[in-house]
Amino acid sequence: MNATPARVEHQLTDKGYVPVYTTAVIEQPWSTYSTTDHEVWATLFARQREVLVGRASDEFLRTQASMGMTPDRIPKFDELNKLLRKATGWELIGVQGLLPELDFFDHLANRRFPVTWWIRKPEQLDYLSEPDLFHDLFGHVPLLMNPVFADYMAAYGRGGVKAHGIGGEALTYLTRLYWYTVEFGLIKQADGLRIYGSGIVSSKGESIHCLESNAPNRIGFDLERIMRTRYRIDTYQKTYFVIDSYEQLMEATSPDFAPIYAKLDTLPSIPAGDVLQTDTVFNHGTGEGWLSDGDV
Ligand code: HBI
Ligand code: FE
């Protein structure tokens, strides 16, 4: 496999030392994928395509179908890149795993989406702690075919590079925005709430839970509210935020965030499960099954 070795650094966070990989770009070693690798892709793909009918947003299902992804084998990055570049100027690059934030943002700002080159093992089918090829390719890539969402992701990357320069809590606020939109966002359609967040669409359990359980809150999108709201990394989300349209996301990133960051610095963060008087509430969750600690 012609991967330049990815030096693994460890970053001290409030969750202890987490491995952060270098930004080495890795050619997708497609010929090295085993039969088991392709079977894991096939199982997850078929299962999620079934669960997501009536649950994922129309645009997610449409863009994913337009990319010609099938269960029979792991897609080839260079084949998908031909479609992506033509549609929205984006391309996939292979990486070892999580990148240092500034590198990640810089890739997004330049319309490069980092996709982990390896896929999880059969025993990790239902959960693994970091993004693998299935999470990235099945979850993140399809909506990059949508011009408005593709522009949002590039604008988000530019915002991340700027936030990195500002320092302070700017990256915390921006990471929450990514988490509650790109990873765990819901969208309102005429026929009901639907999923567009990658962290949800790549998970069978959460695809059902986020829409059909009474436990979580479902609250209308509000940029500053989201930037103040802590989140969960090892359980289902306590709160899901609902956008009206992808255009709403794009518009939300048009102002200069620096004054917003300065204002948020004077306000307390909001626990993941709270509902505010000012919220547009689609569902005030029962909180059933929630853990009392562990908000990030
Ligand atoms: N790196 N490869 C990769 N994929 C991600 O989704 C990712 C990352 N590094 C940082 C990161 N996400 C989050 O901190 C974002 O909120 C920036
Ligand atoms: Fe992700």
Ligand 1 atom 7 nearest Cα: 98
C-beta of 104 in contact with ligand 1 (< 6 A)? yes
What pLDDT digit, counting tens, does each position of 32-56 carry? 999 999 999 999 999 999 999 999 9
DSSP letters of 114-183? EEESS---GGGTT--SS--HIIIIIIISGGGGSHHHHHHHHHHHHHHHHHHHH-TTHHHHHHHHHIIIII
Ligand 2 centroid vs 182 CA: distance in angstroms? 7
> Rounded distance, CA 157 to CA 75, Å?
25
Ligand 1 atom 10 nearest Cα: 101
C-beta of 109 in contact with ligand 1 (< 6 A)? no
The CATH architecture to which 7-283 belongs is Orthogonal Bundle (1.10)
Residue 128 pLDDT: 84
C-beta of 157 in contact with ligand 1 (< 6 A)? no
C-beta of 103 in contact with ligand 1 (< 6 A)? no
Q: Give me the mean pLDDT over the 58-75 stretch.
A: 95
Residue 95 pLDDT: 95
Q: What are residue 241's DSSP bridge partners?
A: 219
> What percent of the chain clears pLDDT 90, i.e. is strictly above it?
88
> In which band, very low, low, confident or very high, does the pLDDT at 74 lie, cut at 50, 70 and 90?
very high
Best probe residue, ligand 1, of 98, 134, 296 (max atoms within 8 Å of C-beta): 98
Query: Quick one: tokens of 14?
Result: 């409030």
Ligand 1 centroid vs 45 CA: distance in angstroms? 22
Q: Give the closest residue to 240 by CA, choosing from 268, 275, 206, 216.
A: 216
Residue 127 pLDDT: 79
| Mean of pLDDT over the chain | 93
> Rounded distance, CA 215 to CA 291, Å?
12
Ligand 2 centroid vs 96 CA: distance in angstroms? 14
C-beta of 114 in contact with ligand 1 (< 6 A)? yes
Burial of 217 (0-12, 13-18, 19+ CB in 10 A): buried
Q: Give me the mean pLDDT over the 197-223 stretch.
A: 97
Residue 35 pLDDT: 98
C-beta of 178 in contact with ligand 1 (< 6 A)? yes
Ligand 1 atom 3 nearest Cα: 98
Task: Give kind and range of the element (H or E) at residue 217.
Answer: strand 217-220
Q: What is the ipTM of this complex?
A: 0.97
